[in-house]
Amino acid sequence: MYFKTLEKKDCSGCTACVSACPRHCITMKPDDEGFFYPEIDKSLCVECGLCEKVCPFDKPKYENTEVMDVYACYIKEQKQRQQSTSGGLFYAIAQWVIANGGIVYGAAFDKNFKLSHVGVDNMDDLDKLRGSKYLQSYLGNTFNEIKNHLKNGRWVYFVGCGCQVAGLNAFLRKKYEKLITSDLVCHGAPSQLMFDWHLDYLRRKEKGEIVSYTFRDLEGWGGCESYEYDSPARGMGKKRNPTYFTSPYLYSFMWAYNYRYSCYDCKFAQIPRQGDITLADFWGVTKFFPDLERENGVSLVLVNTQQGAVVWDAIKDILEYRKSNVKDAAAQNGNLVKKTQMPPIRTVCYQMIRERGYDDVAKNEFRMKGQWKLRIKTFLSSTKLWKIISRIK
């Protein structure tokens, strides 16, 4: 049976098999790196083969045969744009779905910083879904919940990494008129365990509790890790790492040290994409659209289906947008069209932390060594001075 031979690199953890099993005999269990994999209770299994049949990593489908339109864009409302990671396109679509009585599924932290997909149907709760969280989100029972909403005729908007959108489509096995999906351009995802280790490191460093955390803050597009702490000795405080290389977590993430093994063999980092509308950052936008203000984030949007086109038409008046193409969009965003290469450190990354502790690995491995030119350039590009120079250029 397929699961017996399943290698880690062949499973993205999308939960399509778990959600499809008629006997409810598959559960997702974490391995020693904190990534979830399906496990079958053989005493309940009737060997119907459905789990194998739906698996999108084993049998990926590329049904969106061509990209219909590509845009560089952002939401005109400045406040909403600043609260988003890129140009706020997720918010624009989600707002439209909620206004139509629908429900929006995306990734949210609970009070213990555990990341999972949740559904929200009002604008107040939408805030917790916003912003990129750079680790794998736990899907739980999301797919079955979505199916129930669709059967009841409700609009549903689902946002996730390509493998998660592929998983949902594989589980549903048919098109629903009121389902809209967005896949994120994604270079890979570390596990919840890796993020937990990082939070513990910050707690030790600040000698207190971490009360809020963002992977990319609001101070301009590309701004990096910021968090608030509450320390018995020092009270409340805020820290900001202006570049990715001063945060061990973001450094190891950016250099692909700690992704799920399937990410290095990703079947979805390519055109055709999996969602009705693909969302990403339009890196390098100034080269193609120098008139477009970039400082507060510009989204790259690919409209891949008729369904996506309907939504685009409904929201485009609240957006500033320019028409682009896949070639320009991919020029500085490689993962739109290709998967991430696995660096040699990956195979020992989690083990190394278990043996030496996160603090030691953070200090000695998850940081730049040498590379002074890159360091200076990255640091300068995070400062206000650089923003002024860029405008003059």
Ligand X SMILES: Cc1cc2nc3c(=O)[nH]c(=O)nc-3n(C[C@H](O)[C@H](O)[C@H](O)COP(=O)(O)OP(=O)(O)OC[C@H]3O[C@@H](n4cnc5c(N)ncnc54)[C@H](O)[C@@H]3O)c2cc1C
Q: Per CB under 6 A, which of residues 218..257 are in contact with ligand X?
A: none
- Selected from 186, 224, 266, 329, the binder of ligand X by CB under 6 A is 186
Minimum CB distance to ligand X smaller for 172 or for 186: 186
The whole-angstrom separation of Cα 313 and Cα 113 is 36
Of the candidates 160, 227, 220, the one whose C-alpha atom is nearest the C-alpha of residue 198 is 227
Q: Could you write out the DSSP letters of every residue in 222-264?
A: T---EEEEEETTTEEEEEE-SSGGGSHHHHHHHTTSS--GGGG
Q: Based on the shown chain and the rule CB under 6 A, indicate whether residue 224 belongs to the binding site for ligand SF4.
A: no
Q: Could you write out the DSSP letters of every residue in 107-123?
A: EEE-TT--EEEEEE-SH
Q: Angle, to 10 degrees, between the axis of helix 89-99 and the axis of helix 306-315?
A: 90
The residue assigned the tokens 């008046």 is 317
Tokens coding 140: 């739980």
Q: Give the list of residues 6+ apart from residue 264 with CB closer than 8 angstroms, or none.
A: 9, 188, 256, 339, 340, 341, 342, 346
The least distance separating ligand X from the CB of residue 360, rounded to whole angstroms, comes to 26
Give the interface segment with ligand SF4, choosing from 40-48, 96-104, 303-311, 353-361 (CB under 6 A): 40-48
Q: Based on the shown chain and the rule CB under 6 A, indicate whether residue 280 belongs to the binding site for ligand X.
A: yes
Q: Are 301 and 324 in contact (CB under 8 A)?
A: no
Minimum CB distance to ligand SF4 smaller for 115 or for 202: 115
- Selected from 188, 222, 297, 308, the binder of ligand SF4 by CB under 6 A is 188
- Selected from 162, 242, 275, 284, the binder of ligand SF4 by CB under 6 A is 162
The whole-angstrom separation of Cα 333 and Cα 195 is 24
Show the binding pattern over residues 230-269: x = contacts ligand SF4 (CB under 6 A), - = does not. ------------------------------x-xx--x-xx
Point out which residues bind ligand SF4 (CB under 6 A): 6, 11-17, 21, 23, 25-26, 38, 40, 45-51, 54-55, 57, 161-163, 167, 186, 188-189, 260, 262-263, 266, 268-269
Point out which residues bind ligand X (CB under 6 A): 84-91, 106-107, 129-135, 137, 159-161, 184-187, 189, 279-281, 299, 333, 335
